[in-house]
Amino acid sequence: MSKIWDAIIIGGGAAGLFCAGVAGQLGKKVLVLDHSEVLGEKIRISGGGRCNFTNLHSNPSNFLSLNPHFVKSALARYPSKEFIKLIQSYRIGYHEKHQGQLFCDDSAKQIIDLLFAECANGGVTIRYPVKIQSISGKAGEWLIGTDGGQERAKSVVMATGGLPVPAIGATAYSLDIAKQFGLKVIDPRPALVPLSFTSGEFENLNALAGLSLPVKIASGSKGSRYGACTFNEDLLLTHKGLSGPAVLQASSYWIEGEPIHINWIGSAASGSSIDCGELFASEDSRLKLTENLLASFMPLRLAKAFAEQKNLLGRKWAEVSKKDRQALQELITHWSVKPAGTLGWKKAEVMLGGVDTKELDGQTMMARSYPGLYFIGECVDVTGHLGGHNFQWAWASGFACAHSL
């Protein structure tokens, strides 16, 4: 009879390695299996190479899930301050960039090294590349068939992540295993992803590719699967459509066929003292050309594009009719556009959907109907906002699971 592991974790990414380290240090005999040649690739490319490893303000409202309450227990048990303590104990330098987002000073590789060190401290065995061929079993004894032979375990933890970036080994394996056991899976969809547009809708704006500015963006609708949300963030115009943090955030709430709404006066929109209504009405403004007046709020190239769209380019503000002024103001503060689609899994940072949280116990991540079968990290129907929340979910769900193995 081969050795029986306390737990076999399938997937050695953020959630899998973290869970393995914690469980190992709690005295469990843990084996991690991964099909990739290199582990931690998503961590390595995250946060522009510096890994936005958590967020100071991470809380349940930063997550999309059919059941928004599901994350509460795990996040409360392992909040971002706990991961920060771990980072500090490894003397990894970090800084806050924007709205509580914490990044490594040096490199994302430090997070990968930390996870491997934690696994080593827990005596975890890690094998890769290994092809997983089958998973079967029941409470107390699970059988994992691999190209290197069969392994036995008391518990099996699915941690193969989401579908983004297939080029670095992303698969739907955890979702396939959930379905194999009859668990419901919420259809996966790319999220935190740039949006594309048909050329008709976007004609004079894609000539401005490369331009970035703060905007207020709104997407989704109250009655829809994940509701609606508004963000004050930077938007980037690209050759293919719209990107930048504002659009990535909005993409998670976007409903196919529906418009997104942009107020291009980001600084005014985010509550600064600039009031566009007042400025448009001021005596000084009367002598300005329309595009120069708009340029008080946005880059001149964009201001010209908007003025052109309303046939007001080169016209003094004083000469513009009240009706045309209102139409222009409406255009820049309530710009609605219907995206044609997203740039798909290649460009997405995370997956919406996954194993339905109704199937799992929120305190342990265990399948309610299959004792000993767990799902953690991105494969669960829990998707974080941009800004370190997705890693925070990987740590928190991994921690909850590790304590239950």
Q: What single-letter amino acid sits at 11?
A: G
Cα(399)–Cα(75) distance, integer angstroms: 10
Cα(164)–Cα(387) distance, integer angstroms: 17
- Binding-site size, ligand FAD (CB under 6 A): 36
Q: Which member of 28, 29, 35, 154 binds ligand FAD (CB under 6 A)? A: 35
Question: Which residue from 119, 128, 117 is spatially nearest to 91, judged by alpha carbons?
Answer: 117
Cα(276)–Cα(336) distance, integer angstroms: 19
Beta bridge partners of 129: none
Quick note: the x/- pattern for ligand FAD over 219-258, rule CB under 6 A, is: ----------------------------------------
Task: Check binding of 45 to ligand FAD (CB under 6 A).
Answer: yes
Map residue 229 onto helix, strand or coil. strand
Q: Which member of 164, 188, 190, 220 binds ligand FAD (CB under 6 A)? A: 164
C-beta closer to ligand FAD: residue 196 or 390: 390
We find the least distance from the C-beta atom of residue 166 to ligand FAD, in angstroms, to be 10
We find the least distance from the C-beta atom of residue 248 to ligand FAD, in angstroms, to be 10
Cα(35)–Cα(12) distance, integer angstroms: 9
Task: Check binding of 177 to ligand FAD (CB under 6 A).
Answer: no
Cβ contact 274:297 at 8 Å: yes
We find the least distance from the C-beta atom of residue 91 to ligand FAD, in angstroms, to be 21
Tell me which residue has its CB nearest to ligand FAD. 13
**The two structure tokens encoding residue 39:** 């582990």
Region from 91-99, 290-298, 359-367, 386-394 binding ligand FAD, contact rule CB under 6 A: 386-394
C-beta closer to ligand FAD: residue 192 or 294: 192
- Burial bucket for residue 81 (CB in 10 Å: 0-12, 13-18, 19+): exposed
Element (H, E) at 44: helix 41-45
Q: Binding to ligand FAD (CB under 6 A): which residues in 122-151?
A: 132
Kindly list the residues in this chain that would bind ligand FAD in the complex (CB under 6 A): 10-16, 34-36, 39, 42, 45-47, 51-52, 132, 159-161, 164-165, 169-171, 173, 349-350, 377-378, 388-391, 394
